Structure formats: structure tokens, C-alpha cells
Amino acid sequence: MALPVDEPPRGVPGVEPVTPCTSDSPREACGVVGIYAPSDSVAHLSYLALHALQHRGQESAGIAVSNGDDITVVKDMGLVASVFDERTLATLGGVLGIGHTRYSTTGTSSWENAQPVYRSTANHQFVLGHNGNLVNTGSLATETSILPGMVGSDSNLIAELLQMEISAMAPSDQVRGRVLERALERVLPRLIGAFSLVLADEERVIGVRDPNGFRPLCLGRLDRGWVLASETPALDIVGAHFVRELSPGEMVVIDGDGVRSNHPFPTDRVDPRLCIFEFVYFSRPDSVIYGQSVHHARVRMGELLARQAPVDADLVMGVPESGLPAAEGFSRASGIPYGQGLVKNRYIGRTFIAPSQQMRSLGVRMKLNPLRDNIKGNRLVVVDDSIVRGTTTRALVAMLREAGAAEVHLRITSPPYRWPCLFGMDTGDRSELLAARLSVAEMVDYVGADTLVFIEMEELTAATGAVGAGFCNACLTGDYPVDVRPMNGSRG
Ligand code: SF4
């Protein structure tokens, strides 16, 4: 349902405020992997899979493995390659494990909030990795008398609830076996929001997708084992074959008996609403979601934009990375030549944080540099995925003009971003969103372009190739798939 226009997102009791965001694009919020492979090196497979998910979170990385009796966790701040080396991986002997890359949307960016989260009770241990964002952490914390600041992040809160549930089980229920599964069956229906989870205890790996399926989670088959991962490239890199996506509201349990599927949520809560930005920006182009290639969906976005908003120009260029396939599609549909106009500095990550507001315009120069020979004197069509705060777009247009562009026509592969994401994407507060404050005509003036056109919502949905599959587009329409008003929802 739509929030009132002036509804400000608020903080969540029990959960620390988000890290201030100084980027100008929505930022992703974690990648997860779970591996059950008793005859392989689970730590090495997890490490490879996390590499394929590095784009979903670059603040911290972690792997937890079980050798059948004990769980060991290694996690730290930084990229996967800086947290793990051969020596560390060699110490992580196990038959199953989970891994996580994090970008913080609730909780500070700190070692304590890095994942996997580890918890133990008198007889049990488990670990958890979370991609998404709960919107009812406030009421959950109140219900359970968890004090503000006690848990640090919504992921820690889920682990806390599971630990409480396990501790409260009668001794006869606490036999080794399906303890974690039973705790999940009780805790999961109480969670509202976005949560693709991977969990493990000593003997099994578990995957869960929330009833709206906001975030992706897929299952793959190894020769002698199974893999759960946020995106299909993580399956490719470990040599696993794609089996299927988990259904919204599904829990799968993987152990020595194979894969069991369970549906712990009330059926009336199951309403598929995959984040449409997985297609626009967040997922890798080589990912397959809803049976569709993300790369091809982006090409189609460009083709449809060219038909929706034709323009007389000399060159079509994309803003790396996600704007590139869309620019290719725009060029193909319009007949305007495609060319490279911007060179990306590969060593600046997506989460590059400029040290101050003043430095943001320099931030774009750290990430992108113009190819002057292709730009000078040309009328450019510049294809990008989104405009969130507008700061980077404005700096980009100024940079292209300085490089000699005769005209700059912006074409954006998402509709105007007017509402905060409450489901795990860091877009900042509504007051920070350019399209929430300005009309499109005013945005043209603000960013300094000659023209600016956003793709229509229907065209974007059509471009995914999965019309009717069910999408969340709340940040574009204000139509939130779950009731976020009474829940003191955080800003995602
Ligand atoms: S609000 Fe926007 S970014 Fe957030 S889950 Fe929905 S579509 Fe994705």
C-alpha cells in the first residue's frame, strides 16, 4: 500500500541506525551462499561462490563451516579476497557451510555485524546469513523484551529469536536432529519484510525465502552435493548445475538424506514480489532470474526506451556497468551508433564512499573518466540505470560537457525513484531522493541535461520478460507489498 507522501522513514527500536550513505545509486545489501558437500572442500567452494557474489556486498565477508560436530566461523571487514587466504581456508575443514558478503542497511558497518552470525545453546550451534531487511524489528524487539542496541542488526535479531526459541524447547524436543528446523517454523511466520536466509547447524544447511521473495535465492546440484546461492553465477563458478529458484515462502533443508522442502508461512502471505531492481541494477548480467537472462532484459530495456523516447543523436553510450547492455539495445533499436564514452576505474568498488559532500563530484571522477575522442562535438544519448540523489548524474553530465559533448540526452532504465526502499536496498531517506522533490522538468535543469526520459513502468516490466511473475516496485510507485506503516520501518 502507498505511504502518505510526507511519511518519513524512521529508525527501528533495537536496531542501530544505518551507515550514512554518500553514494548516488541504490546499493545492494548482501549475498548469501550455502554448501552441502561432504566430499569436497566446502570452504574453498564457499570462497569461490562468494567471489561471484562480491558485487552484492563489499563491506565484510565471512564463511562458517561444520565438520559434523563443531562450527567454525571466520569473518572480517573487507572484500572476500582480503578476508581469506589459502592458510585461512585450509583451517576451515568441514562437510557443509554457509558464506556471506555484506553491505549494511541496518546496523553499523562493523565486525560485530559481519556475518555469518553464530549462536549456541547448551546443546546446539547454528549460523545464519541474511540478505534483505525486516520491517517489523521494532515490534519483534518489544515482544521479546530485547533492549535497544542489544542485537545491532536485524540479522542478529533473527538469530536471537531462534536462539530463544531453541532454549525454550522442552528437553525432549532438544534432541539432536531437527531442532533448528522446528525453531525456524516458529520464528519465520513472525518475520515481516525481505529475508533470503541461509543457515546451518552441525549436520544440515537450510535455505529460506520470505513469502514475497523480495531477494533471489536459488538451488544448484554438485556431483556430490548441493549449493544455495543468491544468484546463479555463484553456481556456475563452483561447477554446480542450476536446479531451480526457491519459491517465495519456501524453506529447504539439505542433509545426508537429500533436499526436503517445507512451507512454514500461512498461504495468504505468499505473494511473489521480487525486487525489480534485481533486473535493473543489482544482479550480475550473467544471472538468470525468473528464467530470464538479466543481460538480455537490460538490452530490452534499452530497446524499449529507444521506441518510447526517440532522439536525434550521433552516439549512444552506457554508464558502466549496468547501463552498457541497455545502451546496446537503444543503439540497436534506434540505429544510432553505439560507442564507449566512459572508462570505469575497476578498482573503485560500488561502495566507494566519498569522505564528504564536497567530494562527491570528485567521486564520479574516481569511478569514471570520459573518452574525449568519442565525446567531443557529438550529440550523446547516455543510458543509465537510475537516478537516486542526482548528485552523480549531475557531475557526470558536467564531465561530459567539459569533454566537449554537444548535447547530452539522458535515458534511464527505471522510472523515477520516489520512495525509500524498506527491503534491503540503501537509497537514503525520501527527502534525499531527487524525484521525490522535483518534477522531471526540474530534474532536467538540476542535472544539466538537454533531455531526460525515464522508462515507463509497464515497459520496464515487459523488458524483464517475466510479466505476471510478480514484482516489488514500491520505490517507484509507493505501492509497498507489505504493511510497513505501523512497523516503524527502517529505510532499508
Ligand atoms: S522498494 Fe524498490 S529497491 Fe526495494 S525491494 Fe522494492 S523494488 Fe527493490
Which of 209, 281, 283, 421 has the most ligand 1 atoms within 8 A of CB, as the residue to mutate? 421
> Would you say the CB of residue 281 lies under 6 angstroms from ligand 1?
no
Tell me phi and psi for residue 457, to 5 degrees.
Answer: -55, -45
Span 234-290, pLDDT tens digits: 999 999 999 999 999 999 999 999 999 999 999 999 999 999 999 999 999 999 999
Which of 433, 475, 476, 477 has the most ligand 1 atoms within 8 A of CB, as the residue to mutate? 475
pLDDT of residue 365: 75
Mean of the pLDDT values across residues 311-339?
A: 97
pLDDT of residue 159: 95
CA separation for the pair 274, 130 (Å, rounded): 16
Terminus-to-terminus CA distance in the chain, angstroms? 17
pLDDT of residue 64: 98
Nearest atom (ligand 1) to Cα of 492: 4
Nearest atom (ligand 1) to Cα of 424: 4
CA separation for the pair 104, 18 (Å, rounded): 7
> Would you say the CB of residue 277 lies under 6 angstroms from ligand 1?
yes
> Would you say the CB of residue 473 lies under 6 angstroms from ligand 1?
yes
Which residues are marked as active site? 30
**Closest C-alpha to ligand 1, atom 5:** 275
Mean of the pLDDT values across residues 430-446?
A: 95
pLDDT of residue 425: 82
- Whether the pLDDT of residue 487 is over 50: the answer is no
Nearest C-alpha neighbor of 367 from the set 395, 398, 403: 395
What is the signed CA dihedral for 305, 308, 312, 313, rounded to 10 degrees? Answer: -10
pLDDT of residue 490: 38
Comparing 246-250, 357-361, 464-468, which segment has the lowest mean pLDDT? 357-361
Span 104-153, pLDDT tens digits: 655 666 777 889 999 998 889 999 999 999 999 888 888 887 765 667 78
Nearest atom (ligand 1) to Cα of 194: 5
* Average model confidence (pLDDT) across the chain: 88
Span 367-387, pLDDT tens digits: 889 999 999 999 999 999 999
Distance 216 CA to ligand 1 centre (A): 13
Tell me the pTM. Answer: 0.90
Which is it for the CA torsion 454, 455, 461, 463, positive or negative?
negative
**Closest C-alpha to ligand 1, atom 2:** 475
Distance 472 CA to ligand 1 centre (A): 6
- Whether the pLDDT of residue 13 is over 70: the answer is no
> Would you say the CB of residue 84 lies under 6 angstroms from ligand 1?
no
Alpha carbon 9 to chain centroid distance? 20
Q: Which of the pair, 410 or 152, is modelled with greater confidence?
A: 410
Per-residue burial over 21-49, b if 16 or more Cβ lie within 10 Å, else e, is bbbbbbbbbbbbbbbbbeebbbbbbbbbb
Nearest atom (ligand 1) to Cα of 481: 6
- Whether the pLDDT of residue 322 is over 60: the answer is yes
pLDDT of residue 17: 32
pLDDT of residue 104: 63
Mean of the pLDDT values across residues 455-466?
A: 97
Residue type, 282: F
As annotated, the residues of the chain forming the CATH 3.40.50.2020 domain(s) are 292-467
Q: Which of the pair, 103 or 466, is modelled with greater confidence?
A: 466
> Would you say the CB of residue 105 lies under 6 angstroms from ligand 1?
no
pLDDT of residue 245: 98
The answer to whether 334 touches 316, Cβ cutoff 8 Å, is: yes
Distance 392 CA to ligand 1 centre (A): 20
As annotated, the residues of the chain forming the CATH 3.60.20.10 domain(s) are 31-273
Span 44-82, pLDDT tens digits: 999 999 999 999 988 899 999 999 999 999 999 999 999
> Would you say the CB of residue 475 lies under 6 angstroms from ligand 1?
yes
Nearest atom (ligand 1) to Cα of 471: 7
pLDDT of residue 108: 63
pLDDT of residue 199: 98
Mean of the pLDDT values across residues 158-181?
A: 85
According to CATH, the topology of domain 31-273 is Glutamine Phosphoribosylpyrophosphate, subunit 1, domain 1 (3.60.20)
Strands 315-318 and 379-384: parallel
The answer to whether 285 touches 325, Cβ cutoff 8 Å, is: yes
Nearest atom (ligand 1) to Cα of 277: 8
Q: Which of the pair, 411 or 389, is modelled with greater confidence?
A: 411
Distance 171 CA to ligand 1 centre (A): 42
Mean of the pLDDT values across residues 91-95?
A: 94
3-state secondary structure string, the chain? CECCCCCCCCCCCCECCCCCCCCCCCECCCEEEEEECCCCCHHHHHHHHHHHCHHHCCCEEEEEEECCCCEEEEEEECCHHHHCCHHHHHHCCCCEEEEEEECCCCCCCCHHHCCCEEEECCCCEEEEEEEEEECCHHHHHHHCCCCCCCCECHHHHHHHHHHHHHHHCCHHHHCCCCHHHHHHHHHHHHCCEEEEEEEECCCCEEEEECCCCCCCCEEEEECCEEEEECCHHHHHHCCCEEEEECCCCCEEEEECCEEEEECCCCHHHCCCCEECHHHHHHCCCCCEECCEEHHHHHHHHHHHHHHHCCCCCCEEEECCCCHHHHHHHHHHHHCCCECCCEEECCCCCCCCCCCCHHHHHHHHHHHEEECHHHHCCCEEEEEECCCCCCHHHHHHHHHHHHCCCCEEEEEECCCCCCCCCCCCCECCCHHHCHHHHCCHHHHHHHHCCCEEEECCHHHHHHHHCCCCCCEECHHHHCECCCCCHHHCCCCC
Span 200-224, pLDDT tens digits: 999 999 999 999 999 999 999 999 9
Is omega for the bond preceding 116 within 30 degrees of 0, making it cis? yes
> Would you say the CB of residue 276 lies under 6 angstroms from ligand 1?
yes
> Would you say the CB of residue 423 lies under 6 angstroms from ligand 1?
yes
**Closest C-alpha to ligand 1, atom 4:** 421
Architecture of the 292-467 domain: 3-Layer(aba) Sandwich (3.40)
Residue 175 CB contacts under 8 Å (≥ 6 apart), including other chains: none
Q: Which three cell numbers stand for residue 301?
A: 530495456
Q: Which of the pair, 42 or 57, is modelled with greater confidence?
A: 42
CA separation for the pair 146, 124 (Å, rounded): 21
